[in-house]
Amino acid sequence: SPFNTRRRIMDLINNEIELQKKGKPGSIILKLNNLVDTGMINKLYEASKAGVHIQLIIRGICSLIPGVVGMSENIKVISVLGRY
């Protein structure tokens, strides 16, 4: 898991981006403890810009900013702990 999980998730996000570009519906649901990895956040922004609908369920810290027009309008974040 520590060696392949990040790469596998990136591959799955890329797959959803490609589906969306082909005119098929792309969708991502991720449940994570924290989201602070800048590479992962940038990939999710890229997917949002491509039109992929993304729902994130985060238990702890989330550095991604949802709902920004032109960047993350297709991303919704649910915080299990609430907003700080």
Q: What whole-number distance in Å separates Cα of residue 9 and Cα of residue 78?
A: 19
Classify residue 67 by its DSSP letter. T
Q: State the angle between helix axes of 5-21 and 38-50 in degrees (0 to 180), rounded to the nearest 10.
A: 10
Per-chain mean pLDDT for the chain: 93
Residues 6+ apart with CB under 8 A from 42: none
- Dump pLDDT digits (tens) for 43-75: 999 999 999 999 999 999 999 999 999 999 999
Residue 81's CB: how many other CB atoms inside 10 A?
Answer: 10
Q: pTM of this prediction?
A: 0.90
